[in-house]
Amino acid sequence: MVHVYNCHPFASQHIVAAEQEPGLVCCGGGALFVVSAGGCKIEAYELQREGCPLICRFSSMGSVLSLRHSAVGDYLVTIEEKNKATYLRAYTNWRYQAAEKTRVGVRLLGHLLRGSSFRGAPKEQMEIIEIPLFEPPLCMACCSLTGDLLVGCAKSLVVFSLKRQTLSEQLSVLDFERVLILHIQGWSPSQVAFCAGYIALQTELEVLVVKLTPRQKSSPAAEEHALLPEDIMTETKMTKDGFSPLHAQEDFFLFPKHQEMLGNEAQECGVSLVLEWTGMEFALSRRFAPDFFQGCSVEETRLHSLQLHPMFTGKQEEASISKGGEPTCMFVFFSLPNTGYMYSLKNTVELVSTYQYPEKTHQAVLSDQFLYIITRNALQCFTVRCSAVAARVDDPYIDTTMKACPPITMEVCALRIQLFIGLKVLCQDGNQIVLLTAADVDSKEDTERTARRNTSRKTSVCKPTEPADSGHGWNLYVITSVSTLQLYREIVEYSKRYEQSSPSSQSCVHLLSEGHLLLRTALLLQDCESAERAQLQQAFQESCAHLGDRFSRFDKKDCHLALPYYKMSGLTVTDVIKRNMSMSSVSTGYGKGFIFFLKHSLYEETMEELSKDMADKVLEIFSVAEPAQLPHVVSSPSMLNADPDCAVTYLRQLEACGAPSITPSLCMASLALRKGDLHSYRQQMDRHAEVLCDPMLQVYGFIEEPKLLLHGRGKAVLPTILSQHLHDTQEGLLVAAVVALHENSKIRLEEADLFFQVHLCKDGVEAASSPQLLVDFWEALLVASSHESIIQELLFRLTSIYIDRITRRDHSGVKALKTAEDLINSCSHYGMLYPWVSILTPVQFSITHDHQEDLHKLQSLLCGPTLEVSFILPLLEQLSDSDCTGLSVHVLCATKLGQHETSIDRLLDRCPQAIISYANHELQNDKLSLWWQKLFPEVCDRIRTAGNDNTVLLSALKETLVVAAKELNPLEFLDLLPDDGTAHFFLPHLLECSQ
């Protein structure tokens, strides 16, 4: 369905003073080209200047059958006929004829004139380039981005690359190079289009779109099929198996069915390809069946106006094909007499829009902002969805809560139907449209009827009139489009009339969406001056505000769009509230879209702080619209100026209407703190715990509403007044709550660090180091967390803190929430201390209690199963092993790394009383042999040195002999004994060994 509105996209029109009746018309590069009806005279007019003055006039070499202009290279290419032969020619430097220069050079493709004409100073002359072909040309197209040329013949397509040949420092000329031939069998194109490697072909009832893709020269297929060097020519064969629109078989006709194939499915269309240096991807195949139900013949149902249309979303000169860039989007348009189709080709191939025309069309032209069509007596302007497609390709945040854009599937509309008499040709360049009209002398009655309709219909442009001094029945019109801003403002005024007449009508939103897309298109193209762009940006934000207003009053499924449109409008939340207060009230009710916007804005941390009046108004709105959201609303940092008594009243009403909940109580406790009422605070904090006897109940409330404890995210994580109070009175509850927030993905580890260290404890004595409360949080999180990456991070942080505190021997005196024994009993990452560690550092060790706890926690982590010792080795450099404290840590690390012999030496040197306990615990299983291979010889050597009065070593030797006697046979035991030993000392062990 196509909506029809009566806007005014056309600003003015004037008649081009052409001397002879035009036969062909085309425009481009700011110029209008008119071929006389005789076909051998070409006139060029300047479109951008008032009155369209003549630029130049020159003759063609034959009768022009078809004409195209390329903006890149500023050349004309023609299909001409002379002496019953068809030629393809390109006219370059045609603007030199404006100075009435008569010099014209004619040369073949690739043959540059290096004779006398180029000697000395460069000569200004027009050049005609003859482009030879194997078969007569039927149609052609120029790439708007590269200037390359595509020529369609009966059995082939030929691609010519535009080249600029430098002849001297002052002179360079344009030339073409044939780079690709595509052979087609049984499928002669009636029209072709070419842009950015996309090739579109059209017959009477079929369209095929493919994309050329470069292939590596070293590919096996290329080596197998290579016929010509890559830099000269590539041939691609396309065969068509019985795919003509109408097949004659004996005495009956077979008509094809309607068919649409998108993307890779288009390979099944019947076209087979043999590829050499160039690859090809199928994009689209569309087949139509003739429609005779409207009284049309086969000739009247054929396709027309094939067009490939690129769209860039950045600066085109930076993203151009010549600089390696690609268009953001590529569209293909083609049309039946009564229906037009626009497809998007990049990424996913899909049908974007279908245009239903009110009557038979002759021609259509697609631009960035509009689709123009001509019927017999009318020029019509339709909206397009190019910018809606491009926005979704260019911006990943479209269609989120951050940004929005009208949907691609939104129905198109006709903005204007402008009447003319006998429309024949339509072309478009920039913001100007060129029309050729020729009155049909055989339809005088139709002409009079159209003239009457023209006089009775109110239009925005001057009524077409013939020049007083001309008696011919044709005219050449140039119509200028209005500026985007002017048309947008008219659309907004138009939408207001719909809103007043039918507030629930979708036409108002539809019109506002069309205006929004017009502005979005102008901004995406980014080809306007900074002042104009600033005006467009301001209008764009205004359009977002209008759409936000409309969706804010919706109660339907798309009411959520109020949120992204209001965000894009640049309005503050206060502004949005005031706009909606003027449109509705608490008594009449607010729209779901507005409530949705307000709710999400209050949840976000970027919203501005509301004034007292606005905050109280928000409380009033939610108390009626969504009372269940009141705890979240009250906790928002934007609501700090709200009246606490008013908020408490609404929260009590909420509690009275439903089951008791901890979250409203926590909110009321926070509000009591804001007023300085400690009695009410304690009353609210205690009443649920007393009833349910659940110490974790308050933690559940903080999980439901984290903003009770912290505001902001990232570097702006700030504690609330309630978290400050808990820091002073209930540190355990505060730590448990933040741990629960982390485990429920309400806060990240880095944010929690900032919360404790930078903000909550910044005024404490531990500001220079990690505060104890932060360490308590890490320890509690290590107990609760199950994420391996978090666990390893916490282990490293805690080990670093413990080692630092043990090394510095200074402490704040703040008692930790959990002792080493608590952590050992509650956390699997903390292990029981090994017996030999307790001998090294007994409980009654001569250090302070705080350092004793830090040491035992570090030792417990090293005795646990999780800590990777290799990760903390750099940290051990600051911890000396000169005392038993450092020795215990170093020996633990060495032991976990498998360095048992080194550990035995250290213990025998520094603390021999712990060696047997160490050996009993560590020298087991595969390490059992170290008892007699390492420990026994070392003890013997030390006894020799120290003498027999060393009772500790003698005791260790006896224990070692007991183990050796149990594990070795008599001969092995005898070999173990030293030569200078006393026989009666070893005899009991030898007897035990023998038994």
The pLDDT tens digits of the residues spanning 162-218 come to: 988 777 666 778 889 998 888 887 778 999 999 988 999 998 888 999 988 876 544
- The pLDDT mean for the chain works out to 82
Block residue for tokens 């952590």? 823
Task: Render pLDDT for 613-659 as a digit per residue (tens, 0 to 9).
Answer: 999 999 999 998 899 999 999 999 889 999 999 999 999 998 888 76
- Parallel, antiparallel, or unpaired: how do β-strands 22-28 and 339-344 relate? unpaired
Residues 412 and 559 in one domain: no
Position 972 pLDDT exceeds 90: no
Query: What is the structure's pLDDT at 366?
Result: 95
- Tokens standing for residue 444: 């005088």
Query: What is the structure's pLDDT at 273?
Result: 45
Residue ranges of the alpha helices (H) in 642-677?
A: 644-657, 662-675
- Parallel, antiparallel, or unpaired: how do β-strands 234-240 and 378-383 relate? unpaired
Residue 926 identity: D
Instruction: Among 503, 538, 570, identify where a domain stops.
Output: 570
Query: What is the structure's pLDDT at 758?
Result: 72
Residues 377 and 408 in one domain: yes
* Domain assignment present for 562: yes
Q: Assign 461 a pLDDT band (cuts: 50, 70, 90).
A: very low
Query: What is the structure's pLDDT at 694?
Result: 60
Query: Please, what's the b/e burial string for 201-240 (b: 16 or more CB within 10 A of its CB; e: otherwise)?
Result: bbbbbbbbbbbbeebeeeeeebeebeeeeeeebbbbbbeb
* Domain assignment present for 626: no
Residues 390 and 408 in one domain: yes
Domain with 472 in it: 1-15+303-482
Query: What is the structure's pLDDT at 679?
Result: 92
| β-pair partners for 239 | 185, 272
Query: What is the structure's pLDDT at 180?
Result: 87
* Domain assignment present for 423: yes
* Domain assignment present for 909: yes
Position 715 pLDDT exceeds 90: no
Nearest 5 degrees, angle CA 336-CA 337-CA 340?
Answer: 45
Residues 917 and 948 in one domain: yes
* Domain assignment present for 905: yes
Q: Assign 981 a pLDDT band (cuts: 50, 70, 90).
A: low
Q: How many C-beta neighbours within 10 Å does residue 350 have?
A: 14
Q: Report which of residues 226 and 750 the model is more confident about.
A: 750
Query: What is the structure's pLDDT at 527?
Result: 64
* Domain assignment present for 426: yes
Block residue for tokens 């250290």? 906
DSSP 935: I
* Domain assignment present for 942: yes
Q: Are 215 and 206 in contact (CB under 8 A)?
A: no
94 burial via Cβ count (<10 Å: 0-12, 13-18, 19+): buried
Mean pLDDT value across residues 732-757:
90
**H or E element that contains 86:** strand 85-92
Phi, psi of 33 (to 5 degrees): -110, 130
Query: What is the structure's pLDDT at 478?
Result: 93
Residues 452 and 556 in one domain: no
Q: What is the pTM of this model?
A: 0.80
Instruction: Among 482, 507, 534, identify where a domain stops.
Output: 482
| β-pair partners for 355 | 340
Residues 377 and 458 in one domain: yes
DSSP 831: P
Residue 756 identity: F
Position 783 pLDDT exceeds 50: yes
Query: What is the structure's pLDDT at 271?
Result: 54
Share of the chain above pLDDT 90, in %: 39
Residues 369 and 457 in one domain: yes
Residues 328 and 414 in one domain: yes
Q: Are 62 and 75 in contact (CB under 8 A)?
A: no
Residues 492 and 473 in one domain: no
Handedness of CA 415, 418, 424, 427 (dihedral sign): negative
Position 416 pLDDT exceeds 50: yes
* Domain assignment present for 436: yes
Q: Report which of residues 848 and 719 the model is more confident about.
A: 719
DSSP 29: T
Domain total in the chain: 3
Residues 432 and 512 in one domain: no
The top-scoring range by mean pLDDT among 233-247, 308-322, 548-562 is 548-562
Residues 416 and 565 in one domain: no
Block residue for tokens 């798309």? 558
Mean pLDDT value across residues 411-438:
91
Phi, psi of 901 (to 5 degrees): -65, -40
Residue 846 identity: S
49 burial via Cβ count (<10 Å: 0-12, 13-18, 19+): exposed
Nearest 5 degrees, angle CA 505-CA 510-CA 516?
Answer: 140
Query: What is the structure's pLDDT at 226?
Result: 34
Task: Render pLDDT for 378-388 as a digit per residue (tens, 0 to 9).
Answer: 999 999 999 99
Instruction: Among 527, 545, 570, identify where a domain stops.
Output: 570
Mean pLDDT value across residues 501-530:
84
- Parallel, antiparallel, or unpaired: how do β-strands 413-419 and 3-4 relate? parallel
Q: Assign 462 a pLDDT band (cuts: 50, 70, 90).
A: very low
**H or E element that contains 788:** helix 788-808
- Parallel, antiparallel, or unpaired: how do β-strands 350-356 and 339-344 relate? antiparallel
Residues 435 and 538 in one domain: no
Q: Assign 392 a pLDDT band (cuts: 50, 70, 90).
A: very high
Query: What is the structure's pLDDT at 544?
Result: 96
Task: Render pLDDT for 144-155 as a digit per residue (tens, 0 to 9).
Answer: 999 999 999 988
Query: What is the structure's pLDDT at 254?
Result: 43
Task: Render pLDDT for 277-315 as a digit per residue (tens, 0 to 9).
Answer: 567 788 888 888 776 555 556 666 789 999 999 998 865
Query: What is the structure's pLDDT at 455?
Result: 37
Position 266 pLDDT exceeds 70: no
